[in-house]
Structures are given as structure tokens and as C-alpha cells.
Structure 1
């Protein structure tokens, strides 16, 4: 701890009183275990009493989230939060003063419905920023709100993203960034005026109560740019909190990242519309410069994704991964930063830049594996901590690596790469995440698989320090009473030259027989979208696939082929301009090898997926390979012209630039849909993959007179299909489809059956399922009674 009283300090909320408690980890260890010494200055205090936080009527405020000011004199409380899209919400904002113990609404609230869509404190002092009705405000506690922008409308978004930037670029509810000194704000302005409106009907406006469909329907209208159609216009601005004018930095193309590297320096990354060329721009911003109207940045470096691969180019992904190092201590006056970038070999690694004007990085990690996430940078100890997809892509382990000394250019020039040091056991399969104490003395390590998760606090200065926050002992004990599937991870070499590696996770029934005397149906689950991953060493006992394996006796297999992440840029970008082609080849080729396994019933193999996985499922059925007898597609894209511009054009270019690619990547009717049984399901209120994709598929299936498929629409459900009980009903629909076509799971070898009618086969299969369910229920009762 030394002289720093903030080392290892955290907050938590009493679930009964709603008191906010401040405590340090050494005191918590003493409190929970009775062991160890409390550090000097350590302890536990009630920071805010829940009974003191009252609304305008003197009633206890029902808050759900809170934000503490840097000087710890004020707390922002959030109430009445409701979701709009995937990340964006609306809420009411309240300010609590620890000195007066008074709570006041911010932004003229509370409003019903709520109007505030983003809020945060400056990193220093107690200035706050918030967005209301698409306009940006700043305010000091006790002062009046200062309206930074005044043109926010349904079409103009200031400091918050519109739908497509929220979904495909920033994955966030806000697009504004405080300078490290807390004196300036950078923000984006998005103008959707030219973007076309997409509308879909709402049959029942009540998300929870059935039977309230209205005689005349309402509708949801949203600005949604589709491939080839106008995008929102974006511009970047900076405002000095102490001054009024706003400075325009840039106004063209896509802006995909904004990073403060110092008190007065900003890096801005922009790409062209189709995301295959990028520029990193550096802006030096004095208070005098902000009084002007605009400033031109200098180009630090350019990136051309088209030249990265001899296989036909690639794309530049919209990640926001820069970590400024000098911002941690402004007295150093350093603009050094870390980023995660592909090396010449195409693998994403930690890249160090000595200052914001350096063009070429110093890579501090290397190898044929990839860094997934930068967790923490510690200047004091000269370390960077990161999460890596290593030693295999299906795992996540925590590592540390030494940092160059940013105060000495000589040290930087003499830096030598050393192998990173693992903080987790890389000799055992694992999937981890970690959160670090800002002071760098402790970290919370969460093990998320493959076995029962656990959470521990570990010491970095004191390696012997360990505090178990959650070991899930009760869950471990409960699991001994139940059966569970087993997971096997392996790879398959596919392609004409067997030079493509495909990752596989096989989920096997608890009573699995590998001898070949029992033959199992195999259901392949895919997602397959660019840079995605489904083959993970995560704990997933309560998932639907666990049910299929343990209750129905099916084998479920996840497959990650070309286009997916964490095998390098060449593997990932092979699908450029040809979505659905190589992914289909890899799934089909992998299944061809899987069908050779002695325990696989070749007559009962299928595939299913959701969203991009539903699209890939449909393309696999279209391929008519004979490898799959059924396919289940949930909320699939059927034509890329129907999907949003930024995502689609990143991988496919504009339709006018790649007409043949768009045509080949569409789902087309072939004899595959006659030879396999097909299921299609989607929610009518899907704001992401619009229902027109399913409507189009139904139209071309009808034209081709294909009738051996099942379809179900889930009224008003969005992409997650969860409105009014739809999520469970969807899975019941899928289960019934599987049972009617496959019957029970593992079956002993038997002679070839005589031909049966569909009705006879369905009656037989349902009887098998009834008997199997009864037998498994008996087995579970015996296990619960301690007989096993």
C-alpha cells in the first residue's frame, strides 16, 4: 500500500439497505476469512446511506446504477432506465451531494418517459456531461446546465450514436470523450437526414400482455442505412468546457475511433465508406485553437487493407483499443500509447507508440497467436496485462509483458521483446477475464470455464495475497446430483490440400459410448460471421445445447471455419467480397470428416444457427452436399442488400462494386431445400435483421414449390425473440422439429428399417422420446437419491 490510500479500494452495494460501501481488499479478506492483516489506512465505511437518497417527494429513490465523482463529493444516480436498441437506453439522472445529503434531478427531470441517454463525470474535478434529446450538456454541481449543442433532433445526434454507429462501430450508448485533464470534450455529430426510413408494424404494443392487438396497427420507424444507400454524415468536434465555441475536427467518411493521448492532443481514425482504407489523424488543440471554427489534423499513418493480403485484400475492423499512457500522469507530458494491431504476419499483437506522431509501432508481443484485449497498463511497474487467445484459439489466458520506459527514448530504442508471462495456468484449458485495480496492486480474476466458474482477488505486489469472492461451492455440490455432458475440443484439416484448420467443440451426452455400438444424431451449431467465435472453453451447463445432449441424447458440435477470429488476418479475411462461400465449404468439409466417426449416425445429421448463423445454415442447405438432412435457421439474412451498410460494405464493398459477389452470397433456392428438411423462424419486430429477409425466403420457396419446411413468425419480437414468452416457445418449436425428424438420441445399431409413412415414423419417434424421457427421469431420481 505504501503512501497511497487508494490501493485496492472498491465499492459495493448492500442488497437490502442500498447503502454504498467503500472498502479495501485487505479488510474484506479479514472480514471473510479472519486471516491476514488489514493494511495501514485500510478499512470499511458506509459512503452513502440508501435512506438518505430521496426523490422530490421525500421517497427513497429507486436507483439502479450510480457514478461517483473523482473527488468523491457527489454521486450520480440513474433511475427509470429503459432500453432502446442493443446498447442505447433512456433514463432519469439525479445528483446526490454528500455534504448536504440532498438529491436533485438533473436536466429538468424527472421526465416520463425518460430523456437522458448518456452521462459521465470528467476524469478530474466534478464536471459532468450528459446527453438529453440528442443534445450535449455540461454542468457543475450547484451550477446551471450549459448546453453545448442546440441542433439535436430525431435526425441529428450529438454525442450519442445513431442505430448503425451504435450497432456496427462503437458498440456503445455514447460517442463523446473527456480529455485526461477534464477540461475538454471531444464528441461526434451524426446527421441522418439523408438516411432512408425503415418501418415495421407493431401488432400488440404491450411487451408483456398477450391479446392486445389493435384494430389499426402502430409501427416503428427507424433510420436504417442499407448497403449502397446513404449513410449518416459524421463530424468530430471538441469543446473547451470553460469556453463556449466548438471546434470542428473532421467531416467525411466513417469515424471509427477517437482517443485523447494528452491534455491537448487527439488521435482520430477515419476510414473510407467500405472500410478498406484508413487514416490516423493527429490534432493538437490549444484553448486558442478551439476558439476558431475548424482545424486540420496531420496524417500520422495510413492503412490500406486491400494490400494486406495476396488473397484479395481485407478490411479494417472498427475496434477502439488504444490505451494512452501519458494520460495516467499528465506531469510526464507524454503522448505514448498502446494499441492492438496486426503484425506483418497478420496476427494481432500489442503495439507500443512512443508518442502520438510516431508512424511505426514497436510490437511488444509476437507469435502465431492473437491478443484479444488489453486489460491494464501500469507505468509504475512498467507492465502491460492482456488477455490472449493462447495457447489455442479456444482459450483465454491472462499474461503480462514489460513496457518500455516512456520517459526515456533511449530505453525505448533498447527494448527487447521477451516472452509474456502467464498469470493463469496455460497447461490447463481455461477461459478467463480480469479486472485490475487502477493502482496496479490487485486484480480480480474470473475463471469462466470450462469447469464451474470462480472469482478471486489476487495480489501483484504480494503474490501470496488471495481472496476468494465466489467459488460456487453450492453449485458444485448441486451438480453432483445431476448428469452433465462432456466437452471435447479438437481441430479438423479441411480443403482440397487439407491446409485449412477448423476448430471444433463436441458436446457429448453424459452416457456417451464411443465404441460405435451406439450411433448418435449430430446437430452442428454455427455462427461463422467475420471475426466471431463459438468454439470456446466456457462453462455452459444451463444452455440449450446441454439440454439436447443430456435429455435427448444428441451430440452438438460448434464449428469455427474461415472468416472467424483469432487465427490471424489471412484466415479471417479470406471471406472478403464472398460472404457465405468459404464458410459453407469449411462446414461441409468438416462434417464430411465428422460423419466418419464410428459413433455418428450419418442418417441423422443437421445444422442450425441464429442471425449470421441462420444465414450460414441456409447457405449450407443450399449447397446440397448430402452432409446434412435438416437445417434450422433463426432470423437469417437472406440477401446482403437487405442488411445495414457499415457491416455489409466492410466485408462485401458496395453492391455497385461487387454485383457478382452479392449475387453469389445471397441465399438461393436449390435442390438442397428439397432434399433436406428446413425450419425458418423470425420475430416480426426485428430491428437488426429485418423481417423482409424471411419474407423474401418464403417468397422464393413458394415460387420453387418447395413444401417440406416449417416456418413460424414470433409476433413483435426483436432479434432476440423474447416478447411475451417467445424465447421459450422458439426453443420448443426447434425441439419438436428435431424430435419429429430424428426421434431419440443414441440408438444401438439395428438393421435397415422397412419403409414407413411420415405419420408412422412420427408416431414411432414420439413413442421413443416418451420412453427415453421416462428412463432419463428415473435415472435422475436415482442420482438425486444417492444411488449413483
Structure 2
């Protein structure tokens, strides 16, 4: 990996600085474990920096020692320090004396996070890990027993390394190991795979059958592998070595079992679009037909050596925009138990008449096997604008003798209508994936109650609309952490303590005994005030997440702030009352922070009319509200529908660096206005059909509220944002309020006609039905741009928010004679700006632009 590639990878990590992205894993509860050591976000396409994981647990006598996983983060931390140091100088101690946070320190001040990979081995509390020797092993946290699944010595016989991850079958018989990986879109890759037989201790010879694979997954029965190759669906029988091609129409327009671009980005949030039945007999998958979806062509100016090419190339993406066709989508089900009856094995799902959405008005939101075998497949669909959802069930007979036993329509399964959900406002369905199977034949759904707050609704019988809400109140359920079917307990994360916090709770399926599980009592007593929050008691405040062992006797608890993050493994059982493992306390991070003058963080609410908005302010380390000193203020919104930025998470990032600058100190403020998440439906959908209007009003009113504070320089307010935040920044400038004097927009939407359908029409409805709303939501009146110093940044290769947006804005500014703006484009860069050192240069550009324009003296 050369220095340019290292820099690109570093920049990528700086851009995607959410802790959940540090190590990406996929865990399928009833099938297998896939450990993937490459970043699934916009990563360096040419070089994935792999690593050999070190065990979080090691048996030594009667004690368990905890080892941090030394992964990409650790490697990159070392590299980052080197790259940001001035070349030619001899670096002194990295952490010496009290110092202010700079960009080079951001990695050093990120917490370590050790993933725990629970594995269902029959003995609860078993995890899978890679030993220091490189062996893949199972380790039980109670018995401390170690079972080697595959030794590094055997794995290396085929000259293969597990630095790109591996997938282990449920019966531990087989391993799938990627040997090559190339990123396609945000969540998709093309990879080559080999299969290792752990019992025979050898690689199976499938020639090149598993090369150029888009998605791959073991069956729950461990004897088959489903995969997508060249947009066709296959499965491989590991016992016979026979590969079966399920579809043969895959092409640039037809996607079988793999998402097209818009579904990957906006609905499934994954490229995988196939699902094994729990017993491994059937495969359900979606076929995407993009034949009628227009192509968007993105120019490519540079070759692999960053040299220009005489005639630029073009990169084409099937990209539906408002007013144009969406992909046609259909669900198919394949029976893998009858390889001799290929013709009849594949069945299309058709929806019960009178309840189906027409093809041009259909979105498939979720496909879920709601069964412990293969009897029932749930399909959740919506109309094109995603304000009405319909739930269907496909009942699959196990013994099919004639077509009439399957359906009245030859060659298909009928999906029976179960229920419909809609609202009488102009809003949208908050979640695309909202349903979770509850054995033996029920499900829970996170949905809005009659008061508009998202809660857990339990349906004991799939075929009965009778249900009961297990939770209630003016707060919302954020996610489901686990469903303990044996004890009939739902574990979930919610905002009961406040919409900026997330705590772990449990509730019985009868709706009784709603119990808060965080923070652990020991942590309430041990918490130190490391992060200055103006005297606020942080001991019982926090953002938590959890993952449970298969038997639900143990769980990994992640504390993500506001104080120093930690990880513990705890037990749900009274018999293990004193059991805990301190997996990560981030003691080194705590020690490192003691060498810095760190900024001060304050979470609060700002009253606006009859509602409040959440806010996070980051103050300079030496801030004193009683001092006569007045500070400039920088707003940094995102503000998109269902998003959230003002939280109690631990964070040191670009905003912290700006607030810490001793020569140019400022207060950085994040405001989550109307439209953002976890404050109820009324607050959330108020922006429907008029994106940008209310969000901009809230940023302006929040700024006017802060202007009245005695330590704020009311004449020095700036605003910046990226993506939707860039759009919101531009809408604030368009409003011409006079509050903000400097604005910086990175990769903004300028007109919603230019963005994709499944996002835009969810919030704006169709262009035909809301043409005036689209006009008002676009940046049209540029008079306000004459009154700010404006910076516009965009990558020419942005496949998400196309460069045409910024090109249009520049044209509008030019036509109206606006001159006080600066434009910076980055050649061939996508939405994350990680190519060719762009991100580092961008951070410098934003910083210098603020220093030059926000801190300039007022003219007399």
C-alpha cells in the first residue's frame, strides 16, 4: 500500500467516524457468523488493509485476560500520526504536556471497541475469535474451554490469509474465506472466495466457481452456500460439490438476489437481497428489473496513476429520479430440496388481488421468514411514496404434489394480505425494516402508537390483527436488541431518559415489568467526570447498545458516551449475579485525554415557539461564561429526516478541533430541528412535502436564541454542512436572515428533482403531485448569497448527490451577479471525498475559510 492509498484510507476513516463502523460484522442469529475486516463504507477500492485479529479472551490458569483486537484502527492510528507530523522533523513525545486537540489527534482520542462474536455451539457464552497464533477458535467465557476450528498452519497450506474476514458454518464444518475484495457501492463488493473443510483440514476445489461473487451465505443447515454471480442467483451443494444456477437472466438491467443501487442505498441498506429459510430448504430473493430506470453517467477524468486521459471515460449508474420509473421488483422462492425438478422449483410471489400495488407503485420494504422451519414468509410492501404499508404472508406447503396445491395461478405462490398501515397526514412510514419474528407464530413491530410515538406492538398470531403495545409513553423505541423466545422477553433500546440518550430495557411479552438495565450499578459508582459537561451529572446518562448470546444468558454492553466509552459482558441471570467481564475500559484513552485541554460539551434544549429542539454545543477548553470575551459561533447541522446528531455520544472530531483552536477559538453548535428523529411523529413529519423550509427556520431561530447570550459575538455566526447538511446550509443562506455571515456547503442537494426517487418521494411525494413543493424546496432565490461569504465544495465523481447540483447553483449565482463565493471541486471524488488526498485538503480548506472570513474585523 503506497502513501497515497494509505492517505485515502485514513481520510475514509475520518469521514466515517461513527464507532459502529470501526469493525464491520454481520451476524445472522440462526445461521452463521461472518467476520469481515474491511470497512463497508466508502473504502479505498484498490487496497483493503486486512489484519489478523487478536483474541479478546485468553485462558491463563483460572483467570481470563482481556486482549484488545488489534485491527485497522490501530494500524491506521500509527500511520496517521506519521503522516500528519511535519516531514523532516524529529517527532517528540506524542502526548506531552497540556495541548489542544488538532486533526492529527483525532485518531488517538478515539475509543477502542472490541467486537464480540457470539456463536451458537450448544454451550451458551461461546464466542468465536482468532488467536494470537492466527488459529480460528471457539472460546467459552464461563468454562474457559478453547476449541480450535481451523489452525493457521492448515489455513496457510493453500497460501490463503484470513485478513479479509471469514464466514463459519453453523456446524463449524466449513469456512468461507474471501481472497480478493473490491468495493462497488456503499454496501456492496465483488469478492473471490475459497471454501475450507475444517474436518478434512483442506480446501475444497471448486475451480473458479466462487470468483467474482457479489453476496454469499451458508444455509442454516450448513450443507449449502447461496451466492450471487454476474447478477444471477446460485447455490452450491457442499456434499455433492454441485452448483445449481437458479436464474439465468442476470444482466446490467436484471439483479437477482442483489440490490440495485437505489435499494441498496435507500431501502435494504445492504446489497444482499436473498434470505434462507431457517431450515435451509428454501431461498427467498428479490429480482430487480431496472430496464426502464434511466442511467446517469458520471465523467471520469483520471486514470489509476492520477494522470489525465485524452478523452474522459464515463461511469454509468441506474439511478431513478423523481418523475422517472423505479425498478420493477418481485419476490421469488426457490426449493433447494428437489434438484431434479429444476423447472418447478422456482416460484414467483404474486399478491392477493384487490390488495396489490401496481408494479410502478410498488416498493418492497422487508422480506422475513416468520417461521422456525420454512412454512411462512412475510413480505412488507408500500406504495411508491411510502406512506402506506401492506403486510403479506406466503404459506409454503412442505409437500407439493400438484400445481393446484401451491396456488390457483400456475407457477406462483399467492401472498395473502394480512394488514395495512397508513396515516392521515402527509408524512411517511418511519421505518423500512420494522418487523421481528417471535416464535412460535407471532411477530413484533416497531410502529407509531395513537399518539405518534414509536413503540413495540406485539402480534401473537401472524394471521390475526389483534395486537398489544408492550411499551408506551412520550418517548420512542430505537431498536430491538434481542428476542428471548424461551423466557418471552424483548430486549430493546429506547429514549425513555430523553431523546438524546439511548438505554437498554427489557419487557415481557405480556407487557409487564418494563425494566431499565443501564447503566450497570457498578458504573454509576465508578464513573469519573472526564468529559467536562458544565457540572452535569453524567453517571446515569448515556448512549448504550447491546448484543446477546444465543441463549440470552449473557450480553455485551457497549457504553458509547458521553464519558469514556467502555464495554462489559454481563449476565441476565440471577445465578450469575456477580459475573462481569471488563472487555474494554479505555484506560489508555483516559490517560491520553489527561494530556489535553479538551473542549467542553453541553447538551440542552432550545425553545422555539411551542416546541423545543435538541442542541449540542462544544466550547473552547478555557471557556468561561462570566468572562467578557465574546466567541464566534459555528453551526454544523445535518438535519435530514429521521437523522440525529445532537446526542450524548462521546465524540472528538473536526468540530472539536475547531472549538479547541487557541488562535481562533469558537463555539460549535449542532441543532436537530424539526424532521429529525426520536421526538415523535408530529415533530418528525412536519417537514413533509416542504423539505428545507422548517429545518432552515429552526437553525435560524436557534441562532437568534444564542445571539442573546452574553459570551457570544452576535455578528460572527457561521454555518456549514455536508450532504443534507450542505443543502440545509444553502437553504439557510437563501432565507437571507442576516444572522449568518459565513456559510460552507459540501456536496449539497440543490434541487430535489436531481436526487433519487426512493428517498425524495418518501418525503416530498411525487413531482407530479407536489410540483410547487419541489420548486420551493430547491435553492431558487440567491439574493441571500450576496450577504455571506460562501464556500461550495463538490466531487465531480459523486454518484450519490451528483455534481450537477453544484453546477446548477453556480449557474444561478452567476446569472444573478453574485461574486462573493468560492468554489472547490475535487476531481473524480465521490460523496465521501477520500480520493487523491481530497479529505485532508478539504479539512484544511474549511478551516482556513473560517479563519479568513469569520474572524475578520468588522468594517467601520
Aligned pairs for 1:206-605 (under 5 A) are: 206=304, 209-210=305-306, 212-243=307-338, 244=342, 245-250=345-350, 252=359, 253-262=362-371, 263-287=374-398, 288=400, 292-305=410-423, 307=424, 309=425, 313-326=426-439, 334-403=440-509, 415-424=510-519, 428-461=540-573, 462-494=576-608, 498-541=609-652, 543-551=653-661, 552-605=664-717
State the shift of 1:59 in Å: 1.9
TM-fit CA distance, 1:382: 2.1
Cα pair 2:638 2:724 within 8 Å, conserved:
yes
Distance 2:714 2:253 in 1: 54
Query: Which whole-Å deviations, capped at 9, do the CAs of 1:349-406 have from their partners, x for residues lacking one?
Result: 1111112112242111111111111000112222111111231111111111112xxx
Task: Determine the structure 2 residue equivalent to 1:766.
Answer: none
The one of 127, 139, 145 equivalent to 1:23 is 139
Q: Distance in 2 between matches of 1:162 and 1:556?
A: 38
Cα deviation, 1:425-476, whole Å, max 9, x if unaligned, reads 6962211111110110111111111122111111111231110111111111
Across the aligned residues of Structure 1 and Structure 2, the Cα RMSD in angstroms comes to 1.9
Matching residue of 1:412: none
Q: Is the 8 A contact 1:71 1:126 kept in 2?
A: no
* Structure 1: distance between partners of 2:176 and 2:715: 60
1:157–1:190 CA contact under 8 A, matched in 2: yes
Q: Any conservation in 1 of the 2:471–2:511 contact (CA below 8 Å)?
A: no
In the other structure, the counterpart of 1:765 is none
Tell me whether 676-685 or 63-72 shows the greater mean CA deviation: 63-72
**Aligned partners of 2:228 and 2:758: how far apart in 1?**
25
State yes or no: 1:86 paired with 2:190. no
> Larger relative contact order (C-alpha < 8 A, sep ≥ 6)?
2
- In 2: Cα distance, 1:677 partner to 1:353 partner: 56
For the pair 1:50 / 2:152, whether they are aligned, the reply is yes
Contact 2:191 2:213 in 1 (8 A): yes
1:172 corresponds to 2:273: no
- SS of aligned partner of 1:219: strand
1:91-145: per-residue Cα shift (whole Å, max 9, x none)?
A: 011111012111136572464xxx1011111223422211111111112214211
Distance 1:358 1:107, change over 3 A: farther
Misfit runs of 4+, over 4 Å: 289-292
Q: Contact 2:499/2:679 (CA < 8 Å) preserved in 1?
A: yes
For the Cα contact (< 8 Å) 2:571–2:580, is it kept in 1?
yes
TM-score by length of 2: 0.79
Query: What is the DSSP-based 3-state SS (H/G/I as helix, E as strand, rest coil) of the residue aligned with 1:170?
Result: coil
Counterpart contact for 2:281–2:335, Cα < 8 Å: yes
Using the TM superposition, give the Cα deviation of residue 419 of structure 1 relative to its aligned residue in structure 2, in angstroms: 3.3
- 1:158 is matched with which residue? 256
Taking a change above 3 Å as real, the CA distance of residues 96 and 641 of structure 1, as seen in their structure-2 partners, is same
Alignment check: 8 A CA contact 1:169 1:318 kept: no
Secondary structure, aligned partner of 2:850: helix
Could you say which residue in structure 1 is the equivalent of 2:28?
none
- 1:228-274 Cα shifts (integer Å, max 9, x gaps): 10111000111111133211113731111111111211111111111
Q: Deviations over 1:747-774 (max 9, x none)?
A: xxxxx9663xxxxxxxxxxxxxxxxxxx
Deviations 1:696-748, CA, capped at 9 Å, x for gaps: 0011010011010111001111000110110111111101100001239xxxx
Judging changes above 3 Å, is the alpha-carbon distance between structure 1 residues 70 and 620 closer, same or farther for their aligned structure 2 residues?
same
- Find the residue that maps to 1:483 and give its secondary structure: coil
The counterpart of 1:635, out of the listed 731, 739, 747, is: 747
Instruction: Report the counterpart of residue 175 of structure 2 in structure 1.
Output: 75
The CA deviation at 1:170 is: 0.3
Q: In 2, Cα distance between the equivalents of 1:91 and 1:167?
A: 20
SS of equivalent residue, structure 1 residue 484 = coil
Deviation at 1:67, TM superposition (A): 1.2
Is 1:198 aligned to residue 296 of structure 2? yes
Whole-angstrom distance in 1 between the partners of 2:433 and 2:704:
39
Q: Which residue of 2 aligns with 1:65?
A: 165
For 1:343 and 1:107, how far apart are their aligned partners in 2?
A: 54
The alpha-carbon distance between structure 1 residues 665 and 4, as it changes in their structure 2 partners (threshold 3 A), is closer
User: Separation in 2 of the partners of 1:60 and 1:315?
Assistant: 48
State the alpha-carbon separation in 1 of the partners of residues 839 and 121 from structure 2. 50
- Measured in 2, the distance between the counterparts of 1:449 and 1:754 equals 43
2:726 aligned partner = 614
8 A contact 1:107–1:145 mirrored in 2:
no
1:111-150 → structure 2 map (5 Å cutoff): 111=211, 115-142=212-239, 143-150=241-248
Distance 2:328 2:431 in 1: 17
User: In 2, distance between residues paired with 1:571 and 1:205?
Assistant: 47
Whether the 8 Å contact between 1:54 and 1:103 is mirrored in structure 2 is no
Is it true that 1:654 corresponds to 2:766 in the alignment?
yes
Give 3-state SS (helix, strand or coil) of 2:302's partner. Answer: coil
Distance 1:9 1:62, change over 3 A: closer
Counterpart Cα distance in 1 of 2:659 and 2:460: 52
TM-score (structure 1 length as normaliser): 0.86
Equivalent residues of 1:63, 1:77 under 8 A apart: no
- Pair 418,466 (structure 1): closer, same or farther in 2 beyond 3 Å: closer
Unaligned runs of 5+ in 1: 27-38, 327-333, 404-414, 745-751, 756-788
The whole-number CA distance in structure 2 between the counterparts of 1:472 and 1:379 is 34
Judged with a 3 Å threshold, the aligned counterparts in structure 2 of structure 1 residues 318 and 156 are, in CA distance, closer, same or farther, namely: farther
Aligned residues: 697
Alignment of 1:684-723 (within 5 A): 684-723=796-835
In the alignment, is the contact (CA less than 8 A) between 1:621 and 1:628 conserved in 2? yes
For the Cα contact (< 8 Å) 1:321–1:374, is it kept in 2?
no
Q: Distance in 1 between matches of 2:206 and 2:763?
A: 43
Change (3 A) 1:297 1:514: same
1:183 paired to 2:281: yes
Shift of 1:692: 0.3
Answer yes or no: is the 8 Å Cα contact 2:752–2:760 preserved in 1. Answer: yes
Contact preservation (8 Å) 1:399, 1:424: no
